A and B are shown apart, each in its own frame.
Chain A
Amino acid sequence: MAWRWLLAAAVLGGLAPWLLRSVPVRIRVAGSTAFLPLVLRMVAAYRREHPGVEIDVTGGGSGFALAQLQRGVVDVGVSDLPRAAPRLVTRPWARTPVLMVVARRLGVTAIRRSAIRSLRGSSRPVWPGTRRPVIFVERPYGSGTQALVERWAGPLNPRLRPVILGANGLVAQVVAATAGATGFLDASDLRADLVPLRLDGVTPTLANVAAGRYPLVLTARILTRARPGGEVRRLVRALTSTRAVAAAGRPLGYLPP
């Protein structure tokens, strides 16, 4: 008796993935949170032009996108990691400045690369001109921002104990609440009680990024598995159009590559 039920359940269970997969095309996009506002804006525009296509967008970070692309769970990934990704196809996509921020009440507004490097290398770093210790707020391995910062500003002294936070929004929160703290984030997470520092005398603006003067620029790429299907290819072509990135990106703080 019960075996009969089990068999019915097994048949249903076996058929379920097949039944559910015959639902209309669904493209899954995931990737870097630093570029999520731009992805959402461009995908919304694409949806308006192609009403039949279902697109899921989720953040999750660059590392998440790479891992899930390889698992086959995600179709389009946005990564700002320099890390190579085996068996994935990469296309350059967009750029955005990374800001080094401190709490407004700290009173610091500019810093040079050499000064940052020596602070990060020191075992007891102190803000120049004050006796306030520097508290570093970092991002974990797998963050494109962190990889960029370590390349430009050098590694932290291993005897320091930085705060490591999973998202730029949290970095903003903690740096704003802690005089003496400093961290790196993108423009969409900037708040009024934070000051973005001038680096080597250059203010972080899109114009300075475009002119190649601002040193800290994060580059995102769009990734798919090799030979994506027609719908995915169409979406990627629309996303990577330089004109579209320029138009949608400027008001949000992004530039085409």
Chain B
Amino acid sequence: MILSRRACALCALGAAALGAAVAGVNVVRGALFALAPGVGGMLAASLAVVILSLAAVAPPALGVARERAWSEPGPVEAWLLLVSATPALIVGMTALVWFVERAGLGFSLVSGALGLALMNLPFAALGALQAVRQDERSAGTGALALGVPEARVFRDIVLPASAGALARVALRAAARAFGETAVLMFTAGVEPASASPRGLMGGSATLAVRLWYLTSQGQGTGAQARACALWLTVIGVALALAGRPREAPVTERGR
């Protein structure tokens, strides 16, 4: 049995998350239309791509964390550190070729979310590794010494103990994705979604892309641009503050 029950559960969970995101898009679009026309839809699109991209990046990041929690930092960490400096713009160019063109997903929120996941992959993997190492490595090592299998130690001891740190990594990844423009302008388009009802397969500007587009069209003084800037700042700052690392390790701040 290659597809275990847990794999099936994961698929079901993924489908549920997809459904929730689609439903969320419509609810939020309705509720937040008031501030400036079209802004509610773009806010919903921003949140949808951020949630989808986090869902896509979590399994590999946690997978790397589990595999390397008890190893000394080596070439994998060095490589991740090197590629974590890849400018978002470069990721966007690659995402255009991979997802929009080759995979045939077109300019869509799905392409955008995959692009954001690609951008956050090295950052999230490194962050998850640091989180599990700094918190519960010693307790886990004790359990390992007692002969408990590695996978169980990771699931039952390390994960619960480092949940807080992991959540903060996720929040910082969300903050990066939420304010990102370069990746999304090549993958999700620049027009707001209010023009027609559409789901995740449709293109829609997120707040950040729309703000860039309006400013570069010479319409940066309009109500829509200001509303975009306001939402971006409020939510971006909230995510960054909520995800700020506790005490000592400030290493990732601002990255």
Contacts and interface: CB of A to CB of B under 8 A. Distances in A.
- In the complex, are there CB atoms of A and B closer than 8 Å? yes
Interface of A: 1-2, 4-5, 7-9, 12, 17, 20-21, 23, 26, 28, 33, 40, 44, 47, 54-60, 71-73, 165-174, 189
A7 B2 CA distance: 8
A58 B203 contact: yes
B218 A57 contact: no
Contacts of B106: 26, 28, 73
Contacts of A26: 106, 198, 201-202
Interface of A is mostly: helix
25 contacts: A2-B63, A2-B66, A4-B7, A5-B59, A5-B63, A7-B3, A17-B103, A17-B105, A28-B106, A40-B195, A44-B195, A47-B196, A56-B107, A56-B189, A56-B196, A57-B195, A58-B189, A59-B190, A59-B191, A73-B100, A167-B218, A169-B217, A172-B218, A174-B218, A189-B218
B251 interface: no
Contacts of B142: none
Q: Across chains A and B, which 9 residue pairs bring their CB atoms closest together, nearest first?
A: A169-B218, A170-B218, A8-B7, A169-B217, A173-B218, A167-B217, A58-B191, A58-B189, A23-B201
A173 to B, nearest CB: 4
Interface of B: 2-4, 7, 10-11, 14, 59, 63, 66-67, 100-101, 103-107, 110, 151, 189-191, 195-196, 198-199, 201-203, 216-219
Contact of B196 (A55, A59, A60): A55
B110 to A, nearest CB: 6
Contact of B216 (A7, A8, A54, A167): A167
Given A54-B198, A57-B191, 20 more contacts: A1-B151, A2-B63, A4-B7, A7-B2, A7-B3, A8-B3, A8-B11, A12-B11, A12-B14, A23-B199, A26-B106, A55-B196, A56-B189, A56-B196, A58-B107, A58-B191, A59-B191, A60-B190, A72-B101, A73-B101
Contacts of B107: 28, 56, 58, 73
A92 B103 CA distance: 32
B191 A56 contact: yes
Contact of B104 (A21, A23, A57, A165): A21
A21 B190 CA distance: 22
Contacts of A168: 218
A233 to B, nearest CB: 19
Contact of B190 (A1, A58, A73, A165): A58
A30 B16 CA distance: 33
A2 B62 CA distance: 11
